[in-house]
Amino acid sequence: MSTEVNVDPPSDAAPDGAQPGWARRAWAVVDDRMGVSALAYPVPEHANRFAWTLGGITAVSFMVLVASGIILAQFYEPAPELANSSLRRIETNVWGGSFIRGIHFWAAQAMYVGALLHLIRVFLTGSYKKPREGNWLVGVTMFGLLTLAIFTGTVLKWDQEGFEALGHNVELAQLLGGLGFWFSPTFSVQLPIILRLYNAHVVIIPGIILVLVLLHFLLVKRHHMSPHPRLPVGELSEQAPVAEPTQPFTRHLRRLAAFGITLVGILGVLSVLFPAAIGSSPVAGIEISRPPWMFWWPFTLENWFGLPAIAWGEGTFFLILAILPFVDRNPERWWRKRPVAMAIALLVLLALITLTILMIVTPAKNHLGA
Amino acid sequence: MKHAEFALRCKIAAAIVMTTVLTLVAAPAWAHGGQSPKEGYVMVQQAISFLANEPDAKGTSEALVRVDDALNAEDQDGVDIPVLEQAKAALNAGNADGARPLLQSSIKAAVASLKPATGDETGTTIVVPPLRRNGSLSGSDWVLLILSLFVAVGGAVFSYRLRPPENLGALGNDIRAVRALIPNQSSTPSRGGDDNVH
């Protein structure tokens, strides 16, 4: 029996034996060569629930970022004297420029939130456990790269906020010594650092993310969708039970497409009602701005303990994520049977939320050059 | 298996230790220096930035501090001191709007002689305030907003129609029912077409 499930479109021959229409024949030609119907392999039914499509929604956000970024790159000038003014031109003189830039900004927020929710879901359902530890590490790496992408994107505005972010980065690079060489402005002294950050933002980081996304998808295909801990599992608890109904993966993709369309619409609404900001021209030696919200918690640490606390805080956070599958050896996946993991996760989450909230009520103060 | 786990944990610990040593050995003292410019014209730019970003008494007060720093700076190349003094007088009189063009004018010569920026230099010549929108939506904004709403609602309807046919509880019951009918069912996960397809 075939291991793949044939779904739409149906087989070439029409039920009454008549010649299939031109559309079906065209589809057959394409499918023979591109193997599209191979995507219709069975996946457990729970894979179509919203929580199991968060990773796909994150991927859709990434595609929106790439598409809108390509458009913006046609009008953006990555030079210190011109960057800020080129963005203002995009906002005011390019038709749809403000909308596209808003889409890009809000898609970045959506990708970060989507990745965070996906990470939390994977944690809550124990989907990082054997044999999926490698894929968890791939995901954590992508999350780190996403953080870097948002950082470089902020700097590229080349306004006061972006320049202050760069200033923190440069001093952290000095702190890291040998490890921070790439972020040092003296690494390639004849170039303005904004040009190297632009290269990182549009080529290096998205390129690596793309490779890792493909690896991530292939590993999901290899290990199959993780079981839902609320459903009865078989003796092999790493996989969904044989008794669980399945649906073709193309059904999952259709639902994901629907969510993606919804997301694009929401991004459009946000882009019109809350356009992306451009701050004042950058001036060295002052700190009067706040970073984007996802960096508020390390900056509260900086307010308390100084600049090195940013590196220690972020480093500790990603280290906890990375070692999680190797430290948590409890084979259970249902969260109620994992009290230690849940307690630690709750503590970490509460700490991050508290530090974030504290940033709102703390005025910006000078750390650079202190 | 225990030995393999122990070996893996040792490798992870070694990697952490090596990274820490490399960082600490290579690092100079804790962050020093950084963005504390000594040029008078940059101090004037700082004053303009405060006025642009904080158009209140606090911003004016900070700007005055920077203007005083510029007036006492060792490096005043390209700074027109008399014009800077006029700007200071305007700030003291509470006329921040009048002071900003005077401040910009006082460093005209300095910024005109700047070379193209390299490294982490700002390249800023004129300090432009944050871009502010007028608050109301234009015609094309309304078109884009309505189109986006249409797309969002359409996507939401499409998502709802493609929702799973049953909730988790019902799905769990189905699984238990199937397993009760076939008690010796293999625990090996299915990879093939003998599953139910809806």
Statement: residue B11 has pLDDT above 70: no
Higher pLDDT, B25 or B138: B138
pLDDT value for A176: 79
Statement: residue A350 has pLDDT above 90: yes
Tell me phi and psi for residue B39, to 5 degrees: -75, 140
| A44 bridge partner residues | A246
pLDDT value for A2: 37
pLDDT per position as a tens digit, B33-48: 345 789 999 999 999 9
Statement: residue B23 has pLDDT above 90: no
Which residues in chain B are contacts of A196 at CB distance < 8 A?
none
Does residue B170 sit at the A interface (CB-CB below 8 Å)? no
Statement: residue A329 has pLDDT above 90: no
d(CA B51, CA A8): 63
pLDDT value for B5: 67
pLDDT value for B6: 67
Statement: residue A8 has pLDDT above 80: no
Statement: residue B110 has pLDDT above 80: yes
d(CA A119, CA A69): 25
Token pair, residue A326, equals 């190797």
CA angle A41, A42, A45 (to 5 degrees): 145
- Confidence grade of residue A366 (pLDDT, cut at 50, 70, 90): low
- Confidence grade of residue B124 (pLDDT, cut at 50, 70, 90): very high
Token pair, residue B83, equals 């014009």
pLDDT value for A16: 55
The beta-carbon neighbor of B23 closest among A177, A273, A307 is A177
Does residue A2 sit at the B interface (CB-CB below 8 Å)? yes
pLDDT value for A365: 61
Euclidean distance between the first and final Cα of chain A, in Å? 71
Token pair, residue A67, equals 């598409």
Mutate to test the interface with B, among A8, A43, A45 (most CBs of B within 10 A): A45
Token pair, residue B193, equals 């077409």
Does residue A163 sit at the B interface (CB-CB below 8 Å)? yes
Mutate to test the interface with A, among B148, B157, B160, B163 (most CBs of A within 10 A): B148
pLDDT value for A77: 97
Token pair, residue A123, equals 């944690």
Statement: residue B59 has pLDDT above 90: yes
Token pair, residue B60, equals 């004016």
CA angle A157, A145, A51 (to 5 degrees): 110
Q: How far is A257 from chain B (nearest CA, A)?
A: 8
Statement: residue A370 has pLDDT above 70: no
List Cβ neighbours of A98 (8 Å cut-off, separation of 6 or more).
Answer: A90, A91, A92, A271, A275, A276
Q: What percent of chain B lies above the pLDDT cut of 90?
A: 57
pLDDT value for B30: 32
pLDDT value for B170: 86
Token pair, residue A124, equals 């809550």
Q: Residue with structure tokens 């589809």?
A: A27
The one-letter amino acid at B127: V
pLDDT value for B18: 57
Which residues in chain B are contacts of A239 at CB distance < 8 A?
189
Give the DSSP letter of residue A203.
I
Average pLDDT over residues A312-317: 93
- Confidence grade of residue A33 (pLDDT, cut at 50, 70, 90): very high
Does residue A239 sit at the B interface (CB-CB below 8 Å)? yes
The one-letter amino acid at A345: A
Q: Residue with structure tokens 């779904």?
A: A7
Q: How far is A230 from chain B (nearest CA, A)?
A: 8
pLDDT value for A356: 94
Statement: residue A328 has pLDDT above 70: yes
pLDDT per position as a tens digit, A126-175: 999 989 999 999 999 999 999 999 999 999 999 999 999 998 888 888 88
List Cβ neighbours of A10 (8 Å cut-off, separation of 6 or more).
Answer: A24
Token pair, residue A105, equals 């900004």
Mutate to test the interface with B, among A77, A286, A368 (most CBs of B within 10 A): A286
A-to-B residue pairs, Cβ atoms closer than 8 angstroms = 289
Higher pLDDT, B12 or B43: B43
Give the pairing type, strands A42-44 and A246-248.
Answer: antiparallel
Q: Residue with structure tokens 């699984």?
A: B175
The one-letter amino acid at A110: A
Average pLDDT over residues A12-34: 79
3-state secondary structure of A247: strand
Statement: residue A3 has pLDDT above 80: no
Statement: residue B189 has pLDDT above 60: no
- Cβ distance A364 to A289 under 8 Å? yes
The beta-carbon neighbor of B34 closest among A46, A192, A369 is A369
Statement: residue B142 has pLDDT above 50: yes
Average pLDDT over residues B51-66: 93
pLDDT value for B177: 85
Does residue A176 sit at the B interface (CB-CB below 8 Å)? yes
- Confidence grade of residue B196 (pLDDT, cut at 50, 70, 90): very low
pLDDT value for A234: 62
B contact residues 63-122, partner A, Cβ 8 Å cutoff: 116-122
Statement: residue A200 has pLDDT above 80: yes
- Confidence grade of residue A214 (pLDDT, cut at 50, 70, 90): very high
- What is the secondary structure of B89-141 as a DSSP string? HHHHTT-HHHHHHHHHHHTHHHHHTPPPP-BT----SS-PPPP---SS--HHH
pLDDT value for B188: 42
- Confidence grade of residue B76 (pLDDT, cut at 50, 70, 90): very high
| Residues in chain A, overall count | 370
pLDDT value for B45: 96
- What is the secondary structure of B69-91 as a DSSP string? HHHT-SB-TT--HHHHHHHHHHH
Q: How many CB atoms lie within 10 A of CB A10?
A: 12
User: Which residues in A11-45 are b (16+ Cβ under 10 Å) and which e?
Assistant: eeeeeeeeebeeebeebeeeeeeeeebeebbbbbb
Tell me phi and psi for residue A192, to 5 degrees: -70, 140
Q: What percent of chain B lies above the pLDDT cut of 70?
A: 74
ipTM: 0.86
Spell out the SS3 assignment of A143-164.
HHHHHHHHHHHHHHCCCHHHHH
User: For chain A, what is the mean pLDDT?
Assistant: 89
pLDDT value for A229: 87
Most confident of A58-67, B92-101, B136-145: A58-67
d(CA A149, CA A143): 10
- Confidence grade of residue B134 (pLDDT, cut at 50, 70, 90): confident
d(CA A209, CA A29): 33
Q: How far is B102 from chain A (nearest CA, A)?
A: 17
Poorest-pLDDT segment among A39-48, B21-30, B92-101: B21-30
List Cβ neighbours of A74 (8 Å cut-off, separation of 6 or more).
Answer: none
Q: Residue with structure tokens 């640490």?
A: A301
pLDDT per position as a tens digit, A288-308: 888 999 999 998 998 889 888
Poorest-pLDDT segment among A1-10, A100-109, B66-75, B177-186: A1-10
Question: Is the Cα dihedral A173, A179, A183, A188 positive or negative?
Answer: positive
Q: How far is B98 from chain A (nearest CA, A)?
A: 18
